[in-house]
A = this chain, B = another copy of it.
């Protein structure tokens, strides 16, 4: 077993086992059921001296203790506990019981509910009513139940049911949605009721009748009848001297960047202690939450609101990536670990991949007088994972480049959530993507958390608007424009403004750039998006205040990591930014955190079916007066000798 090497490293199998052991010893008279055992981030005050000594090449102080975050149940399956365990000393630091809080979904319970739904006599009776063809079977995906006005306190799953007409395990069940949806109690496995899904254009639900046959729409190659394209020639990325990165445990070095690659069940990959050329830039960068509310008003769709990080976990749902399918070139993989309900550690191999990409030209100037060209290519480092959340896929990536920018790149792909609809019917709440299949309107709303350390930990967030010269300026021709700067002094939610190109910057006000005279900073290239459409008094909105505004600024407090709060499953209120951003905190020139919410309003199209071509979202953090010149000026110039491109015979019309 390789020991943990760095204070910021993800939790190790040994540490998971230690936490489990310590809690079992503490509750030796009870049976523990584990929901989550993961790293509990070292408090900043404890670890920053260590990181600074590292950065400056000084003697290292003793490493701070390592801690685990544990969610678990004791004998009472209805009461969730949260513990913080010092796994270095082997002692429990805190335990809190969480009344009326539902923990995230875990694989074990999910599988039990799936099975209960597939085998329950009343469910089988409904299937009988469908009068399915011979050889047909059903599949169901249990969903976190969501929230509505009913003050529901049980732990429930809404099982969406689909039909498969054959026994091929790769059949696309999403293309044949069934017209009923059982609701199960996750603890007792009781069937509480069966929702009947509306099949017409109104709200009425109907009792289950014989299924109207339609053809499935397949995506798995073995099930497709039409020929594949034959004219796609191979394209390979070769790195004959290997990749340019170096890896020491979970510490990565690449093109003046250094960072520790963290990983949690909730967030997947996390970039920690990010420095460029030995300078502090960001303490912690992460995907913080996402929510996917559906815009069909009819029961049970109003409850359909996935919180794919909080309810389940980006890390937990990450694919085990396969060499050569997901990424080209020289690929390094990183593993993760999860804990089964019985406390055993389960390895999750290859949940994060890392590799370089050539993204075209980085910068270029041609001296037109001589024809001499200076070109530098845009080499990037990609740290990526793919999470499969039943039907949908989300590909999350951090991308670093040689001009000292960091990009968050998110691609939505996979399969839209489908509902049955009577043939010949249309609804304003979604699009028919196949005969008998409607995909409801929904939004994908994401939040990223940026914990900066711009040349130090006391930073200020400002925003800059680009505005015409004012009456105080001499502007005889009416053509001048300048920057109007606003300092964010209080925690809260803030807006973007495309018509002023409003740009948020994180500055270190104590350090001025010697060339521009401005404070060293990083700027956020945000993605202005429609915020959550659901009205503020809906549970959709109340559970996810992060999705009401694009920018949030809070004062750093330990363990405030998840935009909608620590526990989102069946939540009734936002315990994250909804609380932290309403504290009357001063956020100027202090340990500040910036959050950005963005997303897509998705009205599905037939082209999104059976699997959706990736829709990409990209956010960037770029240096702004952080350097005195282009930081990639020292990248070796692009030459054919190195790049070895091939000329396809030219068609030159000779004169």
How far is the CB of A19 from the nearest CB of chain B, in Å? 15
Of A59-67, A266-274, A355-363, A562-570, the one contacting chain B is A355-363
Q: Among A20-28, A93-101, A426-434, which stretch is in contact with chain B?
A: A426-434
Q: Which listed residue (B330, B335, B373) contacts A319, Cβ 8 A?
A: B373
Residues of chain B within 8 A (CB-CB) of A319 are 366, 373
Which of B434, B626, B641 contacts A629 (CB under 8 A)?
A: B434
- Kindly provide the distance from the CB of A506 to the nearest chain B CB, expressed in whole angstroms: 14
Contact A219:B374 (CB < 8 A) given known A241-B234, A517-B426, A530-B499? yes
For residue A58, CB closer than 8 A to chain B, the reply is no
**Which residues of the partner chain B approach A334 to less than 8 Å between Cβ atoms?**
651
A498 within 8 A of B: yes
Report the bound CA distance from A326 to B429 in whole Å.
47
Cβ contact within 8 Å between A297 and B601: no
Q: What string of 1s and 0s marks CB contacts (under 8 Å) between A621-655 and chain B?
A: 01111111111111111111111111111111111
CB distance from A187 to the nearest CB of B (A): 23
B-side contacts of A606, CB under 8 Å:
513, 515-516, 625, 627-629
A239 on interface, CB distance cutoff 8 Å: yes
A345 at the binding interface (Cβ < 8 Å) = yes
Nearest CB of chain B from residue A449's CB, rounded to whole Å: 22
Interface flag for A53 (CB, 8 Å): no
A366-B319, A369-B169 known; A403 and B474 CB under 8 Å?
A: no
Interface assignment of A81: CB less than 8 Å from any CB of chain B:
no
29 A-B residue pairs with Cβ-Cβ distance under 8 Å, sorted by A, are A1-B655, A169-B369, A202-B474, A219-B374, A220-B372, A226-B634, A229-B256, A233-B241, A234-B643, A235-B356, A235-B379, A325-B373, A331-B646, A335-B652, A347-B655, A361-B413, A363-B413, A363-B414, A365-B413, A365-B611, A366-B388, A429-B480, A432-B515, A479-B540, A500-B530, A515-B606, A606-B627, A607-B631, A609-B629
Which among A2, A238, A364 has the greatest number of chain B C-beta atoms within 10 A?
Answer: A364
- Chain B residue with minimal CB distance to A430? B482
Instruction: Count chain B CB atoms within 10 A of each CB in A148, A239, A326 and give the residue with the most.
Output: A326
B640 near A403: Cβ-Cβ < 8 Å: no
Q: How many monomers of this protein are in the complex? A: 2
Q: How far is the CB of A568 from chain B (nearest CB, A)?
A: 17
Give every chain B residue within 8 A of A529 (Cβ-Cβ): 498, 501
Determine if A603 is an interface residue (Cβ-Cβ < 8 Å).
Answer: yes
Q: Measured between C-beta atoms, what is the minimum distance from A334 to chain B in Å?
A: 7
Q: How far is the CB of A601 from chain B (nearest CB, A)?
A: 4
- Is A579 close to B, CB under 8 A? no
**A433 touching B653 in the complex, CB below 8 Å, given contacts A229-B634, A607-B624:** no
Nearest CB in chain B: distance from A515 CB, A: 5
Q: Does A92 contact B (CB under 8 A)?
A: no
CB distance from A356 to the nearest CB of B (A): 6
Residue on B nearest A305 in the bound complex, by CB: B479
A119 close to chain B: CB less than 8 A: no
Whether, in the assembled complex, A75 has its beta carbon less than 8 Å from a beta carbon of chain B, the answer is: no
Contact B234 A169 (CB under 8 A): no
Are A234 and B642 touching (Cβ within 8 A)?
A: yes
A246-280: which have CB < 8 Å to B? 247, 249, 255-256
Q: B residues within 8 A CB of A238? A: 235-238, 644, 646
**Known contacts A349-B652, A535-B468, A630-B609: does B515 contact A636 (CB below 8 Å)?**
no
